[in-house]
Chain A
């Protein structure tokens, strides 16, 4: 049973464009929704995270949009740059429990 479903599997965006990655979850007990960025040969690094009591969180060019009733959340990368090319994972967890990751989205930004 996949508790966090992520799409698309891969994404190609022109430099300066908006990259959008979507995730859906099943467990309404989840209360923490982080996004991780992973470069080849490296471990995942926390990019931005949101709690279900807010609908949007923005940090620089990165924004999480959260829809609690639809059990969906998404990552928007504004003004996408070649350096943003990486694999992105959405994730979810309950308090005091493990983090459950999506399968990842491989993002490629065209120069």
Chain B
């Protein structure tokens, strides 16, 4: 099946640890995104990438890092600098930004991160 795969679905982090969330897409999309969703809140953009080896900070990038070494992969690392990391994380992708169907963004199933 074509789509966006996030793993793991559930992850527990100890204080001071870095953890990495995986996001893989086989849709041949150029752009990929990471969003954070807190209970009762909308989606907040962490990082996005429009092309391999390039990425941009979103609205809440502090305490997070990403890489885009391959078109299909966009992993997110939650570092120990992120003081309140407990949230639901969503990865998304789209063919390209511009007009028409290339604008349509598709989401993965999400990953829950909890600090213990």
A binds B: no
Interface residues of B (CB under 8 A from A): none
Residues of A within 8 A of B (CB): none
